[in-house]
Structure 1
Amino acid sequence: MAFLADPLDLPSGVRLPNRIVKAAMSEALGDADNSPDNRIVTLYRRWAQGGYGLLVTGNIMVDRAHLGEPGNIVIEDRRALPQLTAWAKAAHDGGALILAQLNHPGRQSNLLDVGHRPVAPSAVPLAMPGAATPRELTAAGIEDVIERFATAAAVCEEAGFDGVELHAAHGYLITQFLSPLTNLRTDEWGGSPERRMRFLIEVVRRVRARVSPGFALAVKLNSADFQRGGFTEDDSRAVVAALAQEAVDLIEVSGGNYEAPAMGGSEASSTREREAYFLDYARSVRREAGAIPIAVTGGFRSRAAMEEALASGDCDAVGIARPTVTATDAAAGILEGRVATLETHDIRAGMRGLLGRVTDLKALDGFLNISWNTDQLHRLARGMEPDLDRGPLVTAVAMLRRNGRVSLVPRRGLK
């Protein structure tokens, strides 16, 4: 029986001091060159003092030509090594371990970046207003992306991070290769479940070949994408079984994508009350995962639910995200018994009757809540406290301003 305060040993030898993970949230705190600066150091210094056994960074992109949103930090080479080193040190100084989450948006690149053409396994556009039809990656393009993940991982190890997490969830590029809805290829990269998972397996192998054995390698994987004809739990279990044959240290379970969000404030009240949205799935893949520890992120709010999930053996670690925005010491509060249930702040779009005629309100609420939390992270990064009174209109304006400004910036040649 495991408890929240127990350490967790990963196969690579990395030891987490406890079982509470600060899960990834996109910070959008990159400078004009998409490199980290003192703001990210300030933010992570606060989280590092919050009692978490592990901090997972938000999206770090592997290609400046393809961003999920303006402000994404990008690692293509060693140009920002001093800043990356300061980032990792801020976590270690507070007693936490840190994994850098590596990602490529694929077709889920910034929807407001007018004129940008994303890339994807196949030319299947995102089913959202303004989404451009992506260009299908060539074999050479696929090789380039795989190498980018490996290069970024090697730089992270040099900078002092304890490991990396490959983002294979929430509809980003790796997920697009896994799903039969977005991967229509008939070559060696698609056409069957085994070939659709090849991209992820090749990225895992390339990263592992470029880093030391003691550098942790985690994978964030969807339990499903919750779309008819898409990536199912059976598909996901097969991916877990394949990952169990590789040198993977941790599988973090999540779910959904931009078209069918499963978290972020848009979920039904019954789902929120249940807590731990993906715990049933985690229980079902225990055998497939073998010796690889499983972390579950999404919905955990009470110490009782976290302890029960660990005690039952359904998972080895619990991830929390949004509660850490308004309570940077959320883990310490739980571990020390000061807090029984963590709080989150959810907002909903106004004028729902009108907006409901032209857009998906569930998706809109999801985007608004993501943007609200991003706004709060920016306040924390400037040494300020969260603004709990920030409403949906102000949040929407900030979201449009932040994501739309990239369309006004001259861009270099896109790949």
Structure 2
Amino acid sequence: MNEKYPMIFSPDSIGNVELKNRIVMSAMGMNQSDDGFVTDAVLEHYAVRARGGIGLIIVEVSCVDAPLGKNTGNSLVIDNDKYIPGMQKLTDVIHAAGTKCFLQISHAGRGAFRRITGMQPVAPSAVSMPYSTMMELSNETPRELTVKEIHNIEEKYAQAAFRAKKAGFDGVEIHNTGYYLGQQFLSSVANVRTDEYGGNRENRIRFLLNIIRRIRELCGNEFPIAVKLSVVESGEDAGITMKDGIYYAKRLQDVGVNAIEVLAGVWSGTKGNVAKAVDEECQMTGLCQILKREIRKMTGKNSTIKIIGGGHVQHPQVAEKALEEHQCEFVFVGRELLVQPDFVKLIEEGREDEIKHCIGCGTCSRVQLQKGETCRCVLNPDVGQIIKENRVL
């Protein structure tokens, strides 16, 4: 046990999967597959970070419905059994380092781009994606999905989870934030349907609950399910209030979801309205506290769903305090692990003063979403490196 950071380096579990420490690598798209297949570059990226000592890696956004659900040209895909062998090699290299892994499954919905898919985007309603502070983009008006099409996509998510299990992943995370389809269903602004998939909170969460129940049917109750959830949105086009987020979190606990990775969404009508500021460290833990408190009020018991909080985590003292004060059970770390793959190992060895920190420039996401390039990091030239023999696996 690390005496300086005992909470960070104490084991805990998500479902029946025990993790060696409380640090979770948040899913970050790299855009370095080959037509959706795992490549040598993908393997190397995750192998390096697994060797860095992380407890759980959530492997990047993997499309359940290509090409319609893609927002980058070289994202991973998991909508066909042909992708399983490569994914199996990926889980093998992560497990070899003693790290557990979940696969993030996703559909971009109105966040998909015609220049990539060749098709008009689809969404719960024909409401265009407004300016996103993360993507620094907006998008065209999508086509509203029919109920039959929604059922079909629900099944695609569940089948993707089943393939992830076959490939050796320890669990899945359903991508449900920002400009992705799941979150679009939850937003009262993005989702203005009047049928069973819109009009009130329970209808808006129906899409997500149907996916979860079907995954349970295919994968069993012992296969962990996490949800990456924006529990509140702000800005001109916000459609999820804190009350909505609390309700959604409680419903996810009700249906047996094992963990929620907590985020918040920000929308702005125009690029000029986006405020640039340095992120506060671990800023999502305040939202985690609210969820825990309100679930306890509603149920009379402490929440049973594990909460993964974080956001711009740079210093272990901040993560340790959040865990010690029971604000969350796990702390997610994202871009810091692009800059410093052995972030956790340096902390464990008492060498945190050697850590290089993310400066928040946004290059990693911007080059993918705006230029269609592989992820890059201005502080780590190894990120997105070109491997001479980048084989499809």
TM-score range, shorter chain: 0.7 to 0.9
Aligned partners of 2:47, 2:56: CA distance in 1, in Å? 13
Correspondence for 2:212 among 179, 204, 217 = 204
Aligned partners of 1:275, 1:133: CA distance in 2, in Å? 35
Task: State yes or no: 1:298 paired with 2:311.
Answer: yes
Bigger proportion of residues as strand: 2
Correspondence for 1:185 among 190, 193, 196 = 193
Q: CA shift at 1:309, angstroms? A: 0.2
Instruction: Please give the secondary structure, in 2, of the residue aligned with 1:155.
Output: helix
AA partner of residue 87 (structure 1)? L
Aligned partners of 1:30, 1:230: CA distance in 2, in Å? 33
Q: 1:130 to 1:217 in 2, by over 3 A?
A: closer
Q: What residue ranges of structure 1 are gaps of 5+ in the alignment? A: 350-364, 385-415
Aligned pairs for 1:51-130 (under 5 A) are 51-66=53-68, 67-110=70-113, 112-113=115-116, 115-128=118-131
Matching residue of 2:375 = 374
Aligned partners of 1:255, 1:378: CA distance in 2, in Å? 30
Task: State yes or no: 1:320 paired with 2:333.
Answer: yes
Maintained 8 Å contact 1:179/1:230: yes
Q: 1:378 to 1:103 in 2, by over 3 A?
A: farther
- Identity rate of aligned residues, in percent? 29
Task: State yes or no: 1:255 paired with 2:264.
Answer: yes
Task: State yes or no: 1:17 paired with 2:26.
Answer: no
Matching residue of 2:299 = none
Q: CA shift at 1:267, angstroms? A: 5.0
Q: CA shift at 1:234, angstroms? A: 1.1
Q: 1:310 to 1:348 in 2, by over 3 A?
A: closer
Matching residue of 2:30 = 27
AA partner of residue 282 (structure 1)? C
Root mean square deviation of aligned Cα: 2.7
Q: CA shift at 1:189, angstroms? A: 0.2
Q: CA shift at 1:266, angstroms? A: 7.6
Aligned partners of 1:156, 1:14: CA distance in 2, in Å? 15
Q: CA shift at 1:277, angstroms? A: 1.7
Matching residue of 1:333 = 346
Number of paired residues?
Answer: 361
Q: What residue ranges of structure 2 are gaps of 5+ in the alignment? A: 132-136, 296-301, 388-393
Name whichever of 84-93 and 73-82 sits farther off.
73-82
Name whichever of 152-161 and 286-295 sits farther off.
286-295
Q: 1:259 to 1:332 in 2, by over 3 A?
A: farther
Task: State yes or no: 1:285 paired with 2:328.
Answer: no
TM-score by length of 2: 0.85
Aligned pairs for 1:192-231 (under 5 A) are 192-228=200-236, 229-231=238-240
Name whichever of 173-182 and 76-85 sits farther off.
76-85
Aligned partners of 2:168, 2:362: CA distance in 1, in Å? 40
AA partner of residue 216 (structure 1)? P
Matching residue of 1:360 = none
Maintained 8 Å contact 2:225/2:259: yes
Q: CA shift at 1:97, angstroms? A: 0.4
AA partner of residue 276 (structure 1)? C
Instruction: Please give the secondary structure, in 1, of the residue aligned with 2:265.
Output: coil
Matching residue of 1:401 = none
Instruction: Please give the secondary structure, in 2, of the residue aligned with 1:52.
Output: coil
Task: State yes or no: 1:344 paired with 2:358.
Answer: yes
Q: 1:83 to 1:266 in 2, by over 3 A?
A: farther
Q: CA shift at 1:111, angstroms? A: 6.3
Maintained 8 Å contact 1:225/1:260: no
